[in-house]
């Protein structure tokens, strides 16, 4: 079984280690990727991983039984157009993209079997899950036997994107508030005292979890800004989705909000240097 990665950053590296750790003499997975046009950081990451490095991503797509896209939200459709058309096998997108983008990828005229995945939780920990949706999603459940935590949620390919993006609205909004709170408390030289006060009302380890969120934001604010852009595009498109089903006490008119908090979160991420 050959699993290829288009893009080999932190997520792909961690997934590769999890998959390779479960290899046996009877069942074996080989990880493929390429350093074509990649940064020095990515090249070193590939070289320090137990993977097969091919000359081009076109070769990765051609020789993979499962092709996984882990790049950035803005590149997701471009990657699908360029490489999903090469493989006749399963194509799994793990980028944090909107349901609209997911449907766009699914509608591409190619021979691949498209599956949408959404990583929930911190992939480097054991406390995470990868939701899979789509007509061929069940075909990937066997990856549970290779160290991944996979959960099939349905045949509608966009469903995992809905879950991911709704959760993302909450988590990124909280992170933006924590980031601003931290900066204000630093200016006042009261950071320790503020977190001590919050620990009385919030759950245990609140300070360490908050700092983890803040540091993650600082290190990946550009990607998170792109993700907020996707979220806003998703919200704008909801009223135009004829196939979207609503409960009896809800209607498309409920989407006439200005989304002020969500826009403010996006602006906060944009301003981070």
Q: Each residue's pLDDT tens digit in the chain (273 positions)? A: 999 999 898 999 999 999 998 876 567 899 999 989 888 888 888 888 889 999 999 999 999 999 999 998 889 999 999 999 898 899 999 998 888 889 999 998 777 899 999 999 889 988 899 999 999 999 999 999 998 999 999 999 999 999 988 998 999 999 999 999 999 999 999 999 999 999 889 877 899 999 999 999 999 999 899 889 878 888 887 766 554 555 555 555 555 568 889 999 999 999 998
Residue with tokens 């980031």: 179
Q: Give residue 223's Cα distance to chain centre.
A: 10
Q: Which fold has domain 162-271?
A: 1.10.1040
Helix (H/G/I), strand (E/B), else coil: 131: strand
The CATH code for residues 2-155 is: 3.40.50.720
* CA-wise closest residue to 176 among 270, 74, 273, 72: 270
For residues 90 and 115, the answer to whether their CB atoms sit within 8 Å is: yes
Other C-beta atoms lying within 10 Å of the C-beta of residue 193: 11
Specify the domain boundaries for CATH 3.40.50.720 within the chain.
2-155
Report the C-alpha gap between 151 and 153 in whole angstroms. 6
User: In this structure, are residues 19 and 143 in contact, taking their beta carbons and an 8 Å threshold?
Assistant: yes
Answer for the pair 3, 64: CB distance below 8 angstroms, yes or no.
Answer: yes
- Residue extent(s) of CATH 1.10.1040.10 domains in the chain: 162-271
Closest CA to 90 of 59, 112, 57: 112
Cβ atoms of 39 and 11 within 8 Å: the answer is no
The DSSP result for 70-104, as a single string, is -S-GGGHHHHIIIIITT-SSEEEE-S---HHHHHH
Is the pTM here over 0.85, yes or no? no
**Residue 245 is encoded by which pair of tokens?**
């089903």
């Amino acid at each position: 079984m050959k699993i290829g990665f288009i893009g080999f950053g932190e997520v792909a590296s961690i997934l590769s280690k999890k998959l390779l750790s479960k290899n046996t003499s009877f069942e074996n997975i080989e990880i493929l990727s390429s350093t074509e046009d990649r940064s020095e950081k990515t090249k070193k990451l590939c070289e320090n991983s137990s993977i097969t490095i091919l000359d081009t991503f076109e070769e990765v797509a051609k020789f993979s039984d499962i092709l996984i896209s882990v790049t950035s939200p803005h590149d997701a459709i471009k990657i699908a157009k360029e490489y999903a058309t090469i493989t006749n096998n399963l194509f799994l997108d793990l980028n944090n993209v909107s349901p609209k983008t997911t449907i766009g990828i699914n509608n591409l005229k190619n021979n691949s079997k498209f599956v949408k995945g959404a990583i929930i939780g911190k992939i480097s920990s054991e406390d995470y899950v990868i939701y899979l949706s789509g007509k061929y999603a069940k075909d990937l459940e066997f990856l549970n036997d290779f160290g991944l935590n996979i959960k099939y949620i349905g045949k509608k390919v966009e469903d995992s994107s809905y879950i991911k993006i709704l959760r993302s609205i909450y988590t990124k909004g909280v992170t933006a508030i924590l980031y601003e709170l931290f900066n204000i408390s630093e200016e006042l030289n009261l950071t320790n005292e503020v977190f001590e006060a919050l620990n009385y009302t919030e759950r245990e380890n609140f300070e360490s979890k908050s700092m983890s969120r803040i540091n993650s934001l600082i290190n990946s604010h550009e990607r998170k800004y792109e993700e907020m852009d996707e979220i806003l595009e998703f919200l704008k498109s909801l009223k135009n989705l004829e196939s979207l089903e609503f409960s009896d006490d809800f209607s498309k008119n409920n989407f006439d909000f200005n989304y002020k908090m969500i826009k403010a979160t996006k602006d906060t991420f944009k301003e981070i240097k």
